[in-house]
Amino acid sequence: MDQGRDRQIALIVAGPTCSGKSALALTLGERFGGTVINADSMQVYRELRILTARPSPEEERQLPHRLYGISPAVKARSVAWWRQQALVTMDEAWQAGRLPILCGGTGMYLRALTDGLAEVPDPGQEARAEARQFSADPAALHARLTEADPETAAALKPADTQRLARAWEVWRGTGHGLAWWRAQPGLPAAPCRFIAVRLAPDRAELRQAIAARFSNMIARGAVDEVRALLEPGLDSALPAMRAHGVPEIAAALRGEITLAQATEQAVLATGRYTKRQTTWFGHHPLATENDTVIFENRITSSEQYMERKYDKIISFVHERIDAARSGA
């Protein structure tokens, strides 16, 4: 990661699902004149406001929020697509004299900006269709990929349907595996200096928060949200159809499990995902050590205790922005 790119400054608020990133980004945006830019792969889909915990309309009116709910669920959006949208949006923020605040838990999105991205050609419709067909049996697909592209397959879990399908379509459509493409010169990092605030709350605290939030989502209409998503008969391999809570609630709507069972399964799946997120962020820094702060609490509210925590983060961001502007 080359942090000599200090022509402009951007702030990253990253961490696992349900750690309070959106609330923190809103506070920092108000303090530093920011534009909050979504860096969550599921919050780009307009049909999934409740289950993806998108900022509320009221929060979005408090200051500019961008790249939230901008794509229909029928589209499978990629890292490269998001990167291009984010670069344009960051430039618009700078032109308006605002601080881009990239907020989300999709590490590959953020890393596509901080470290650049391998440019993989479009594999084509035929390869995508074959990958969707094979993804009905993830274990068999993993075996196929192991034979065709062992280097990429070795890095993927046999149950990771989405990444397996992507790896297969790339190999099938381009003749090279993802690992090969990632080793080629690719798209550059964003031309700016990043300051990163990473949330890393206690796992037990996070599990409790996930359970409480999912129950609240059910109360706010998550079941109806999934029912509407299912109505057009979208391909089950689409990313939006695998958002946390969607497969479980869909199973409940089909009568395969109860809503209580769906809730329990969704909470467990989300908890496992947050563990993977935390591990990933721990191994992939998004800024230099001096420009990174790790906050080991969940952002919960604006009560006095949390305000003291906010003050520490605000002081850090203020200090690093000043350092960046002075060339330090």
Which residues are known binding-site members for substrate? 17-22
Cα separation values, 178 from 123, 154, 171, Å? 11, 12, 7
Cα separation, 315 vs 102, whole angstroms:
19
Q: Is the Cβ–Cβ distance between 3 and 193 less than 8 Å? A: yes
- Amino acid letter for position 189: A
Cα separation, 177 vs 154, whole angstroms:
12
Q: Is the Cβ–Cβ distance between 267 and 249 less than 8 Å? A: no
The residues, ordered by sequence, that sit 6+ positions from 164 with a Cβ below 8 Å of its Cβ are 135, 138, 141, 142, 145, 156, 158
Mark the binding-site residues for ATP, compressed into ranges. Answer: 15-22
Mark the binding-site residues, compressed into ranges. Answer: 15-22
Element (H, E) at 100: strand 99-104
174 backbone dihedrals φ, ψ, rounded to 5°: -115, -15
